[in-house]
Structure 1
Amino acid sequence: MCGILFSIQDQHSPANEPYDHTWATLQDLNSRRGPSAQDVHTISTGEEEGAISNKMLTFYGAVLHLRGDIVTHQPHVSKGGNVLLWNGEIFDGLFVDHHQNDGQVLMDQLESITDRADHCTAFLSIMERIEGPYAFVYFHASSKMLYFGRDCLGRRSLLWHRGAQPDNGVDSPFILTSVGYSSFRSDLLPLAEVPADGIYRRSLGVVENGIITKCPWVSSCVAQETPHAMRLPFGGVNRAIPTESQLPELFPEGLKFDQAHPEVVPAVTKDMQKAIDDMIDILGDSVRRRVQDIPRTGLPHDARVGILFSGGLDCLCLAALADKFLPEGEAIDLLNVGFENPRSEKAKAAEEALALKRLKKLGLSDSSKSKANSNANGSTTSTSPRIQQQQQTKYNVPDRVTGYESLSELRRIAPKRHWNFVEVNVPFEEATAQRSEILERIAPLETVMDLSIAMAFWFASRGVGHIKDEQGELVPYTSQAKVLLSGLGADEQLGGYSRHKDQFQAASWEGLIEELQLDLDRISTRNLGRDDRIISDHGKEARYPFLSTNVVKFLSSLRVDLKVDLRYPRGVGEKILLRHVARQLGFVRASSHWKRAVQFGARTAKMTDSGRSEIGQQVVDRTLLS
């Protein structure tokens, strides 16, 4: 993972204070993404034949060392003047030995085609073969062409300031950057997200100077008819409607499924068993490629891999699969975040006061209630250490409870693994103090829901918290893991949201299929750029095994009822394939966990009594952040 920053400006234009301030700000922000090395390279087009004169191209790269034996600096610059800024990971499609840097491997591939007459076609052919997340900027010197873009799922962030051509003939600066700032920053040039719908190119030649065109991602059947297009590595969601003979019988009448009886599961048909086996193989291969060969940069006992761990179904399966592909004695950090939420504490206190009032009316003593409030370890809170008491009250959020339940199952199926369950506890004052900065990192997104989700990820990925020692006492701990696995993509593809249930009830299987396709189509604009900007702010890299293009291709091809069967009640039918996978991996109780959005599981949603109704899609009211 890297921070990349690029600009085109008129080198002889008058002093441009907005540009200078913008560049300095962006250079500082991008350096956070790449603490291992930072470099800059500039090109002046004033002396080059066939190019518009007086242009300055500036390339800045900040590197986080995660591939190869040594730190490889960016930008990559060839003898012929080609320049590559690469923020990505090549997991398949191009061969990268574990001793190599994938950015350098890509640059070598691009150099092999640099003199071809059909350079653009050859370039796109290389890019469409890459399996992995990326955002990049590439300047091809001989054609005076600038290429830039994101992978087809938008797993890496890229923002732009497109500039304009005013009447005086002087172009305003053109900027590309991995990370940006809020639109409220009127002293800086405005930024927007580069769509993940293709690779863009901008000509610096005399004839087509400044013209931006798009080489779109299209389906295989359309690619042959579309010039300079790239084939999507997966097709649309399978639209086959299951027949009655293909569907397993529902539970016998009168048998109610709930979390008290997780052993009661839907029948596994022959088709479903094949889907389970294939899913374990394909998702397992995706995890393997994302956890192997990570260079060790810290102490020998430091975990190299962390998991954003709510204890839910998605992250638990990733943890079990990661265990299969990491050395046996190596630790894995499970990052579990909980927030002190005054509104939740106030509601809880009101409930307890009401319960106490009822007890008094019944003539029951207060001592019986105190005894009932003994903690889960069998001792009362009055005898617990202060930090443990704090953890059991303020930070005993839903995801903390689920996290510990799932941890016990993990330790049962993988007893030789050292699981660091990192309790990331965020006091209300600290969360409030960081809200403005976090809002800057998610820009150009700035809704209430985006901020709530981003707060959980920002503090979790920072990894500052506590773990339990051998005596069960909480001790300070900071995760050194640079690679963080996320379960993002599972709910979108496997029908984990309540809106999938709504569509199924309204329009049966057809409505469900439409909703799954919609989720896949919009995932780059809703989630991934934001999460990349947030997590990378700590010099960490998020990796998404459920969004490997091989996993997406497999899940898109499956018949819908093999992924999600919403004839069943909650905790059974949604993500039914992954529930069966969890059972086959050895998890019993966790296989019946319900979906809980991170902002509710960690309690970042509605943290204040502001007097304003906070709706998820509303823009954040900045007056409430002070």
Structure 2
Amino acid sequence: MCGILFSIQDSHGTLTDEYSRTWATLQELNSRRGPSAQDTHTAHVTQGQEATLTFYGAVLHLRGDTVCRQPHVAQSGNVLLWNGEIFDGIAVDQHENDGEVLMAKLESISEEPSSDYPKAFLSIMDKIEGPYAFLYFHASSKRIFFGRDCLGRRSLLWHRSGEGNMNLPFILTSVGYSLFRSNLLPLDEVPADGIYSMSLDSKERTLTHYPWLSALEDQPEASLCMHLPFGRVNTTLPTEDQLPPAFATDLKFDQAHPEIVPAMTDDMKHAVSQLIEILGDSVRRRVQDIPRTGMPHDARVGILFSGGLDCLCLAALADRFLPKGEAIDLLNVGFENPRSEKAKAAEEALALKRLKKLQLANGSHGSPSTLDASNGNAAKKFSVPDRITGYESLKELQRIAPNRHWNFVEVNVPFEEATAQRSEILERIAPLDTVMDLSIAMAFWFASRGVGQIKMENGETVPYISQAKVLLSGLGADEQLGGYSRHKDQFAAGGWEGLIHELQLDLDRISTRNLGRDDRIISDHGKEARYPFLGAHVVALLSSLRVDLKVDLRYPRGVGEKILLRHMARDLGFVRSSSHWKRAVQFGARTAKMTESGRSEIGQAVVNRSSS
């Protein structure tokens, strides 16, 4: 994982204060993403309107035996800025750096005629399976290429001053800042809808777009597009004889029913077998060959661990592919939430009052104070839903993988600390700026920082800082397997057809809703998020499966949503945890509605930061 930064400036123009401030700010922010090495390179385009190209790369060492500096600069004058991972499609040996391997591939086509070069370039990029954002300058054709992978798993922002105007800067960057920063150039997310190119060989600077297209879409210029590595969601509707019987409709949807295990058809058994194999391979590719940069006992892999179904399955699969003597960090975050504490105290006071009345009515004078005896216990502040679920799931992990050392890291965030870091986190999520984005981002920012405590075997609690540079996330499971309440709503309103439509919509918009934001947040600590559920082979499998094999919302909550993953969890040995249902991170960690002021506080927090 890296931070990449690039700009085009008029060679004869005077650098404005606004641009200089912007570049200095972005260089500092990108350096956080790559603490292993940083470097800068400058090139000039002398035909057309003369321009200066500036490249900056910051590297987090996660591939190969040695740190490989960026930008990658060839003798031909070609330059590559690469923020990505090649997990398949192009062979990368465990001792090699994937950026260097990609650069070598691109150099092999460097002498292609200018008119044929885009086709040759796209054919190489089309092979890559893995997350990426990149910028490539092809010197002989005076053209740049840039873009994100088809799911947008790596962040890329741009500032563009308008086509045809070379007097103002064009900027690409992995990370940005809030829109409230009026003294800096505005930034927007580069859409994850294809690869872009720009010719610098004329006064007119125009963008060419090479879109991601599926095999089913019209491709009038099929050679000049990127090909999606997976198809659209299967629209085949299940027939009655393909469905196992549903249970009684009087079961409450909002209650757990761990005793209910739907019958497995032969189709379902085959789907479970496929998912274990393909998701397991996706996990393997994402945890193997991570360089050891710390102490021998440090965990190299961490898991963003709420105790839910998705992260639990990833933990069990990671256990299969990491050396048995190696620890895995389970990062579980909990926030002190004054509003929640106030509401809980009110509930306890009401219960106490009712109990006292009941005792008086029965002639009893016993003290009911035991109800709130532990109310002042500091640990109780952080006993959030995800902490409770996390410990439950930890017990099951320890049972099925007793030889693994699981570091259950309690990341406890006092309200004062969350408030102090709010403006910093708002900067990282930009250009997104909603209250929900902030709530989710706060949980991920503190969890990925990894500062917390663990319990020793003797029960003693000791401070702990996770050194894991790779963090596995279960993102993508709910979108593809129907884990959200909106899937239940769509099924109720539109049946299987409505559910299929919602699943396709979730996959189509995942880059704009989640991934760029999460990449910017987690990488702020020099960590890299990896998403096994979004590996191309996993998405291809899940898209191809008939809808009822993934989600069957005829059943109640904790049974029918993500039914394929629940069957898989039972196959892996989990019993109780297989009935856990989706709880959004902002509610599980209690970052939602921490104060009364809500949205208005976001703008004020960043204004205060900008003026300080």
TM-score computed with the length of structure 2 as normaliser:
0.95
Partner amino acid, structure 1, of 2:74:
S
Cα contact 1:263–1:588 (8 A) shared by 2: no
For the pair 1:534 / 2:532, whether they are aligned, the reply is: no
**In structure 1, C-alpha distance between the alignment counterparts of 2:219 and 2:253, rounded to whole Å:** 50
What corresponds to 2:573 in structure 1?
Answer: 586
TM-aligned CA deviation for residue 217 of structure 1: 0.5
What corresponds to 1:212 in structure 2?
Answer: 207
Cα contact 1:333–1:422 (8 A) shared by 2: yes
Choose from 238, 242, 246 the match for 1:246. 242
Query: Per the alignment, in what secondary structure is the counterpart of residue 185 of structure 1?
Result: coil
What corresponds to 1:377 in structure 2?
Answer: none
TM-aligned CA deviation for residue 417 of structure 1: 0.3
What corresponds to 1:135 in structure 2?
Answer: 133
TM-aligned CA deviation for residue 14 of structure 1: 2.2
TM-aligned CA deviation for residue 159 of structure 1: 0.2
What corresponds to 1:26 in structure 2?
Answer: 26
Which whole-Å deviations, capped at 9, do the CAs of 1:510-559 have from their partners, x for residues lacking one? Answer: 00000000000000000000000000000000000000011000000000
Cα contact 2:177–2:430 (8 A) shared by 1: yes
For the pair 1:273 / 2:269, whether they are aligned, the reply is: yes
What corresponds to 2:6 in structure 1?
Answer: 6
TM-aligned CA deviation for residue 260 of structure 1: 6.8
Measured at CA, do residues 326 and 342 of structure 1 come closer, stay the same or move farther in structure 2, by a change above 3 Å? same
Choose from 277, 297, 308 the match for 1:312. 308
Cα contact 1:150–1:198 (8 A) shared by 2: yes
What corresponds to 1:324 in structure 2?
Answer: 320
Measured at CA, do residues 256 and 357 of structure 1 come closer, stay the same or move farther in structure 2, by a change above 3 Å? closer
Partner amino acid, structure 1, of 2:37:
A
Choose from 121, 124, 127 the match for 2:122. 124
Measured at CA, do residues 549 and 95 of structure 1 come closer, stay the same or move farther in structure 2, by a change above 3 Å? same
Cα contact 2:13–2:167 (8 A) shared by 1: no
Partner amino acid, structure 1, of 2:603:
R
TM-aligned CA deviation for residue 323 of structure 1: 0.3
What corresponds to 1:409 in structure 2?
Answer: 396
Cα contact 2:45–2:142 (8 A) shared by 1: no
Choose from 397, 402, 420 the match for 2:384. 397
Which whole-Å deviations, capped at 9, do the CAs of 1:334-375 have from their partners, x for residues lacking one? Answer: 00000000000001111111111112212267866444668x
Query: Per the alignment, in what secondary structure is the counterpart of residue 38 of structure 1?
Result: strand
For the pair 1:622 / 2:574, whether they are aligned, the reply is: no
Q: Where does structure 2 lack aligned partners over 5 or more consecutive residues?
A: none
Cα contact 1:223–1:230 (8 A) shared by 2: no
Query: Per the alignment, in what secondary structure is the counterpart of residue 161 of structure 2?
Result: coil
TM-aligned CA deviation for residue 609 of structure 1: 2.3
Cα contact 1:453–1:598 (8 A) shared by 2: yes
Query: Per the alignment, in what secondary structure is the counterpart of residue 145 of structure 2?
Result: strand
**Aligned length, in residue pairs:** 601
**In structure 2, C-alpha distance between the alignment counterparts of 1:367 and 1:323, rounded to whole Å:** 51
TM-aligned CA deviation for residue 261 of structure 1: 5.3
What corresponds to 2:220 in structure 1?
Answer: 225
**Bigger CA drift: 179-188 or 469-478?**
469-478
TM-aligned CA deviation for residue 226 of structure 1: 2.3
**In structure 2, C-alpha distance between the alignment counterparts of 1:326 and 1:334, rounded to whole Å:** 15
Cα contact 1:219–1:232 (8 A) shared by 2: yes
What corresponds to 1:567 in structure 2?
Answer: 554
- Once the two structures are superposed, the pairs formed by residues 26-105 of structure 1 within 5 Å of their partners are 26-46=26-46, 51-105=47-101
**In structure 1, C-alpha distance between the alignment counterparts of 2:23 and 2:193, rounded to whole Å:** 26
Cα contact 2:180–2:603 (8 A) shared by 1: no
For the pair 1:156 / 2:169, whether they are aligned, the reply is: no
Cα contact 2:166–2:205 (8 A) shared by 1: no
**Bigger CA drift: 447-456 or 118-127?**
118-127
Partner amino acid, structure 1, of 2:513:
R
Partner amino acid, structure 1, of 2:20:
D
- Once the two structures are superposed, the pairs formed by residues 494-573 of structure 1 within 5 Å of their partners are 494-573=481-560
Cα contact 1:238–1:557 (8 A) shared by 2: yes
Cα contact 1:77–1:83 (8 A) shared by 2: yes
**In structure 2, C-alpha distance between the alignment counterparts of 1:413 and 1:130, rounded to whole Å:** 35
Query: Per the alignment, in what secondary structure is the counterpart of residue 125 of structure 1?
Result: helix
Cα contact 2:255–2:557 (8 A) shared by 1: no
Query: Per the alignment, in what secondary structure is the counterpart of residue 35 of structure 1?
Result: coil
TM-aligned CA deviation for residue 624 of structure 1: 6.3
Query: Per the alignment, in what secondary structure is the counterpart of residue 152 of structure 1?
Result: coil
Query: Per the alignment, in what secondary structure is the counterpart of residue 160 of structure 1?
Result: strand
Measured at CA, do residues 353 and 550 of structure 1 come closer, stay the same or move farther in structure 2, by a change above 3 Å? same
TM-aligned CA deviation for residue 221 of structure 1: 3.9
Query: Per the alignment, in what secondary structure is the counterpart of residue 509 of structure 1?
Result: helix
Cα contact 1:448–1:620 (8 A) shared by 2: no
**In structure 2, C-alpha distance between the alignment counterparts of 1:507 and 1:444, rounded to whole Å:** 34
Measured at CA, do residues 367 and 71 of structure 1 come closer, stay the same or move farther in structure 2, by a change above 3 Å? farther
Cα contact 1:148–1:200 (8 A) shared by 2: yes
**In structure 1, C-alpha distance between the alignment counterparts of 2:75 and 2:90, rounded to whole Å:** 23
Partner amino acid, structure 2, of 1:570:
R
**In structure 2, C-alpha distance between the alignment counterparts of 1:541 and 1:349, rounded to whole Å:** 39
Measured at CA, do residues 466 and 523 of structure 1 come closer, stay the same or move farther in structure 2, by a change above 3 Å? same
**In structure 2, C-alpha distance between the alignment counterparts of 1:10 and 1:296, rounded to whole Å:** 43
Query: Per the alignment, in what secondary structure is the counterpart of residue 509 of structure 2?
Result: helix
What corresponds to 2:416 in structure 1?
Answer: 429
Cα contact 1:259–1:592 (8 A) shared by 2: no
**In structure 1, C-alpha distance between the alignment counterparts of 2:437 and 2:388, rounded to whole Å:** 24
Q: Where does structure 1 lack aligned partners over 5 or more consecutive residues?
A: 375-380
Choose from 334, 352, 359 the match for 1:356. 352
TM-aligned CA deviation for residue 188 of structure 1: 0.2
**In structure 1, C-alpha distance between the alignment counterparts of 2:365 and 2:530, rounded to whole Å:** 50
Query: Per the alignment, in what secondary structure is the counterpart of residue 529 of structure 2?
Result: strand
Measured at CA, do residues 138 and 416 of structure 1 come closer, stay the same or move farther in structure 2, by a change above 3 Å? same
What corresponds to 2:144 in structure 1?
Answer: 146
Cα contact 1:447–1:620 (8 A) shared by 2: no
Partner amino acid, structure 1, of 2:206:
I
**Bigger CA drift: 325-334 or 246-255?**
246-255
Query: Per the alignment, in what secondary structure is the counterpart of residue 507 of structure 1?
Result: helix
Cα contact 1:310–1:403 (8 A) shared by 2: yes
Which whole-Å deviations, capped at 9, do the CAs of 1:2-23 have from their partners, x for residues lacking one? Answer: 0000000012212311100000
Partner amino acid, structure 1, of 2:15:
A
For the pair 1:17 / 2:17, whether they are aligned, the reply is: yes
Measured at CA, do residues 57 and 523 of structure 1 come closer, stay the same or move farther in structure 2, by a change above 3 Å? same
**In structure 1, C-alpha distance between the alignment counterparts of 2:470 and 2:249, rounded to whole Å:** 47
TM-aligned CA deviation for residue 163 of structure 1: 1.4
CA RMSD of aligned residues (A): 1.9
**In structure 2, C-alpha distance between the alignment counterparts of 1:505 and 1:234, rounded to whole Å:** 28
What corresponds to 2:588 in structure 1?
Answer: 601
Measured at CA, do residues 157 and 261 of structure 1 come closer, stay the same or move farther in structure 2, by a change above 3 Å? closer
Cα contact 2:257–2:579 (8 A) shared by 1: no
Query: Per the alignment, in what secondary structure is the counterpart of residue 241 of structure 2?
Result: coil
TM-aligned CA deviation for residue 254 of structure 1: 7.2
Partner amino acid, structure 1, of 2:510:
I
Measured at CA, do residues 619 and 88 of structure 1 come closer, stay the same or move farther in structure 2, by a change above 3 Å? farther
